[in-house]
Amino acid sequence: MTKPDYSDVTMRPKLVGKRIKRTEDLRLLTGTGEYVDDMQAPGMLHVAIRRSDQPHAKIVSIDATDAFEVPGIVAVFDMSDFEGECEPAVPTSRMKDYYATPTWPLARGKVRYVGEPVVAVVAESRYAAEDALEHIRIEYEALPFAIRQVDAVKDDAPLLHEEAGTNVIIKREFVRADVDEVFRTAAHTVGGTFRMTRKCASPMENRSYMAQWDKRRRSLTLYTSSNIPGVVRDVLSGCLGLSSHQLRVVAPDVGGSFGGKGSLYGEEMLVCLLARKLQRPVKYVADRLEDIAAMSQAFDELIEAELAFDDEGHFLGLRADVIGDVGAFSIYPWTAALETVQVISFLPGPYKIDAYRGRIRGVLTPKPPTGPYRGVGRPSSTLAMERLVDMAARRIGMDPAEIRRRNLVRDEDFPYRTAPGIIWDRSAFRDCLEGACNALDYPRLLKRRDRMRAEGRWVGIGIASYAELTGIGSRISVAPGMPINTGTETANISIDSTGVVTAAFGVASHGQGLETTLAQIVADELGCSMGDIVVLHGDSSLVPMSSGTYASRSAVLGGGAAALTSRTLKAKVLAMAAILMDADAADLDIHEGLVTSRTSNQSMTLREVATAVYNQMGRIPRDQRVDLTAQQTYDPYLGTACSSTHLCMLEVDPGTYGVKILNYVVSEDCGRIINPMIVDGQVHGAVAQGIGAALLEEVIHNDEGQSVAASLADYLLPVATDIPDIEIVHIEAELPNNVGGFRGMGEGGTIGTPASIANALTDALSHLDIGVDMLPATPERLFQLVRTARTSERATI
């Protein structure tokens, strides 16, 4: 068999860019994956939690006497049982006017939302523990509260955290230029109030935790369904008074997160305390009702925004005031600023706007805390901005696509600093718009819409363009002074004596296919075969510092660390091979595990090199021999822009007010694509989630503070029939200036979808002069909008 000629390295086939099947799917699809609930341990106990049924109340007394009548009950605990055994997790920040609420394992003194953990029952089985919950009597003294952010923000509102002295625990303002003067002199202004109501992440796997105490080593191991095991390890070691080597946190197979598992929860602290106290393994697995009631939630930003522009449609100024409902606590480690600050940080989006003022107030309410959710702040900011853009186009009779063309940041403007200070390094803002319009033949689509309207059908077209910052580095991550580092990533890669490559990372996959994509990068950079690579992740003990997977960072930072470390290791391999082959290392290269020479026919396998290094001591001089291991940390310093345009056409049924999406296209620039199949899957899934946010999903709290969407019978998720065929256009713009040329893209579908649907709905209902500015646009909400519009018409006539 003739050996391929790879003397020209640039001609060698690459795995990055190939549609390679996910290597992890074999175990996941055959039922051999291992999730926290699959884990068993001798003597393991189970926990059930009695949660608050009061939105705000003082805990007067707890009587658990009758609970011990249930067979199998081991112990019952409230927060008083852990006094002196732990410290709270405090999400600190340097931001002005910020108050960090403490997070405890159980309610301490009073409860602040329905669903807050109050009492933990430990039993030999989960069934017994749940049975005992009904026998616990808790006496509460009800306290006043304000359930809605517009009431809680008032100076005389009842306080959730008295020590804060206010419910407004975060304020922030971004200002550039005299925006009020711009509005005073502008030819046109449009404005409105925009809102995306509360959402709940709904991963297939509920939150699950299991802790084991090693009496001999006096150490804890926590198995958690979290996507931030490194963060959890670091904070819990401090809360529990353990050194880092006494606490290991492992995230095994994780069945999704969407941000909901990306924060510290009191239940994680709880199982660790119980395992140490009882000297037995302890497991807690939430059910769906508990996760809807107590998992962190998203959005709920009330945005009042205005846009100023001239007769030609050029944007002149933008201003916004935002009240963010942050729930009852500032979540660890992201703080109460996570959602609210990002709304005003990203509100200008991909557009050139010289004058800007954005203000936010994050206010406490008796609801579950808001936390990470796919897109974090940008779905709400994109909804507000893109609605303003369409309102401006309609005001001056301009096509919505054309007004975007006139205002999107141009290629020659990069790097572009937005008014809030975000730097767009380079991305295909305009090319994404054109890609979407070309994919659906926009002029032809407009004609089709008009023909359908002539038949009496309610049909509309919507566009949404956005930009996001992905893979942020240390400069941005340290700015707010959070208690963690989110701007670096470490990889540790080694080759053993048989030639197997083990690549360990601090990132933690919860469904993105990281085991495959990271292996593709390592294989290309190191020159080994993918079959020889084992990717390890989700374990705090693998690398010195790890945080996890969030904020579209894993491909950029994890991929960058993989590339840097692989290059370092490759240099070591070639140095050892050069000695073994009596050649110059500069003349050697590796491909698919074979070291070859550019100047001779010599070759040897990676396994042969490794065997010589580790087992054949005489073949390499002692003073020249090096272990085949490498570790590098990657810091992109800033971050890289990712952009997209979503374009859809939909129809509203005037009888049922149901919405059917007829056409949908996503045109995106995510840089160098590692695995197109995985990227397409991420886009499809994110758009489906965005459709749920736009049309179906809503957590509703009534005036009594109770959630009236407490199960999947009321909290509606999209099903297959709600999702249209989704066309994807990949725009290959100039690659970002980072290692690998990657951009993050996992959140984009949820950012652009709600805004494009809101604009399409507004277009479909334009004959009634209706603007859809609040999502989800449920049939009931659309019906009320139409009824109000028709009533107003009759009153005018």
pLDDT attached to residue 472: 84
pLDDT attached to residue 96: 86
Q: 604 in a domain, yes or no?
A: yes
Is residue 100 located within the same domain as residue 236?
A: yes
H/E stretch holding 127 reads helix 126-133
User: Does residue 341 carry a pLDDT above 70?
Assistant: yes
d(CA 54, CA 51): 9
Question: Which residue carries 């334009």 as its tokens?
Answer: 766
pLDDT attached to residue 535: 96
**Per-residue pLDDT tens for 685-712?**
999 999 999 999 999 999 999 999 889 9
pLDDT attached to residue 546: 80
Is residue 717 located within the same domain as residue 792?
A: yes
pLDDT attached to residue 480: 66
d(CA 435, CA 409): 16
Q: Which of the four pLDDT bands, split at 50, 70 and 90, describes residue 797?
A: very low
Q: Which of the four pLDDT bands, split at 50, 70 and 90, describes residue 323?
A: very high
Give first-to-last CA distance, the chain, whole Å. 87
Q: 744 in a domain, yes or no?
A: yes
d(CA 121, CA 81): 12
Q: Which of the four pLDDT bands, split at 50, 70 and 90, describes residue 639?
A: confident
**CATH number (domain holding residue 132):** 3.90.1170.50
Q: Which of the four pLDDT bands, split at 50, 70 and 90, describes residue 793?
A: low
Computed from CA positions of residues 740, 743, 745, 746, in that sequence, does the dihedral angle turn out positive or negative?
positive
User: Does residue 10 carry a pLDDT above 80?
Assistant: no
Is residue 543 located within the same domain as residue 463?
A: no
Q: What is the mean pLDDT of residues 148-173?
A: 96
Listed range (61-70, 553-562, 655-664) with the worst mean pLDDT: 553-562
Please state, in angstroms and as integers, the Cα–Cα distance from residue 303 to each residue in 97, 199, 296, 297, 673, following that order: 20, 17, 21, 18, 35
Contacts of 475 (CB under 8 A, 6+ apart): 487, 637, 638
Is residue 87 located within the same domain as residue 228?
A: yes
Number of domains forming the structure of the chain: 3
**Per-residue pLDDT tens for 238-285?**
999 999 889 999 999 999 999 999 999 999 999 999 999 999 999 999
Contact 224, 249 (CB under 8 A): yes
Contact 89, 484 (CB under 8 A): no
Please state at what angle helix 378-396 crosses helix 400-407, rounded to 10 degrees.
Answer: 110
Structural tokens at position 657 = 């007010």
Residue 205 corresponds to which amino acid? E
Contacts of 80 (CB under 8 A, 6+ apart): none
Please give the residue range of the domain that contains residue 435: 423-468+638-797
pLDDT attached to residue 577: 96
pLDDT attached to residue 13: 62
Burial annotation 94-105 (CB, 10 A radius, 16+ → b, else e) = ebeebbbbebbb
Q: 336 in a domain, yes or no?
A: no
User: Does residue 674 carry a pLDDT above 60?
Assistant: yes
pLDDT attached to residue 4: 39
User: Exposed/middle/buried for 251, CB within 10 Å: 0-12, 13-18, 19+?
Assistant: buried
Residue 716 corresponds to which amino acid? L
d(CA 748, CA 56): 37
Contact 270, 294 (CB under 8 A): no
Q: Rounded to the nearest 5 degrees, what angle is found at the Cα of 289, between the Cα atoms of 113 and 54? A: 25
Q: Which of the four pLDDT bands, split at 50, 70 and 90, describes residue 548?
A: confident
Q: 184 in a domain, yes or no?
A: no
Q: What single-letter DSSP state applies at residue 740?
A: T
pLDDT attached to residue 6: 35
Structural tokens at position 453 = 């309207």
d(CA 443, CA 150): 43
Is residue 616 located within the same domain as residue 675?
A: no
Beta bridge mates, 181: none
Is residue 120 located within the same domain as residue 227?
A: yes
Contact 57, 141 (CB under 8 A): yes
Residue 562 half-sphere exposure toward CB, CA atoms < 13 A: 37
**Per-residue pLDDT tens for 172-219?**
999 999 999 999 999 999 999 999 999 999 999 999 999 999 999 999
151-158 contacts at long range (C-beta below 8 A, 24 or more positions apart): 152/325, 152/363, 152/364, 152/365, 153/323, 153/361, 153/363, 158/56
d(CA 527, CA 589): 8
Is residue 701 located within the same domain as residue 667?
A: yes
Beta bridge mates, 632: 491
pLDDT attached to residue 1: 33
Q: Is 528 helix (H, G, I), strand (E, B) or coil?
A: coil
- Of 259, 294, 329, the one marking the end of a domain is 294
Region for residue 294 given its phi and psi (left: phi exceeds 0; alpha: psi -120 to 50; beta: otherwise)? alpha
Q: Which of the four pLDDT bands, split at 50, 70 and 90, describes residue 12?
A: low
**Per-residue pLDDT tens for 567-587?**
999 999 999 999 999 999 999
pLDDT attached to residue 276: 97
d(CA 604, CA 590): 9
Q: Which of these, 298, 291, 295, 113, lies nearest to 196 by C-alpha position?
A: 298
Q: Which of these, 693, 58, 79, 702, lies nearest to 367 by C-alpha position?
A: 702
Q: 404 in a domain, yes or no?
A: no
Q: 19 in a domain, yes or no?
A: yes
**CATH number (domain holding residue 699):** 3.30.365.10
Is residue 741 located within the same domain as residue 765?
A: yes
Is residue 101 located within the same domain as residue 22?
A: no
Is residue 790 located within the same domain as residue 680?
A: yes
User: Does residue 722 carry a pLDDT above 50?
Assistant: yes
Residue 381 half-sphere exposure toward CB, CA atoms < 13 A: 27
Q: What single-letter DSSP state applies at residue 18?
A: S
Contact 730, 738 (CB under 8 A): no
Q: What is the mean pLDDT of residues 547-557?
A: 86
Is residue 730 located within the same domain as residue 778?
A: yes
d(CA 126, CA 129): 5
Beta bridge mates, 644: 466, 668
- Of 294, 321, 341, the one marking the end of a domain is 294
Q: Which of the four pLDDT bands, split at 50, 70 and 90, describes residue 149?
A: very high
Q: Is 447 helix (H, G, I), strand (E, B) or coil?
A: helix
Which segments of 367-457 are extended strands (E)?
Answer: 416-417, 423-424
Q: What is the mean pLDDT of residues 70-94?
A: 96
Q: 351 in a domain, yes or no?
A: no
- Of 610, 634, 658, the one marking the end of a domain is 634
d(CA 13, CA 524): 9
Q: Which of the four pLDDT bands, split at 50, 70 and 90, describes residue 388?
A: very high
Q: What is the pTM of this model?
A: 0.95
Strands 727-730 and 659-669, by their bridges, are parallel
Is residue 122 located within the same domain as residue 50?
A: yes
Q: Rounded to the nearest 5 degrees, what angle is found at the Cα of 195, between the Cα atoms of 194 and 201? A: 150
Q: Is 183 helix (H, G, I), strand (E, B) or coil?
A: helix
User: Does residue 11 carry a pLDDT above 60?
Assistant: no
User: Does residue 7 carry a pLDDT above 50?
Assistant: no
Cis, peptide link before residue 400, omega less than 30° from 0? no
Beta bridge mates, 323: 302, 361
User: Does residue 9 carry a pLDDT above 50?
Assistant: no
Q: 742 in a domain, yes or no?
A: yes
pLDDT attached to residue 680: 95
**Per-residue pLDDT tens for 343-382?**
999 999 999 999 999 999 999 999 999 999 999 999 999 9
Question: Which residue carries 């658990």 as its tokens?
Answer: 64
Contact 276, 246 (CB under 8 A): no
Beta bridge mates, 664: 648
**Per-residue pLDDT tens for 45-62?**
999 999 999 999 999 999
Structural tokens at position 480 = 């707010």
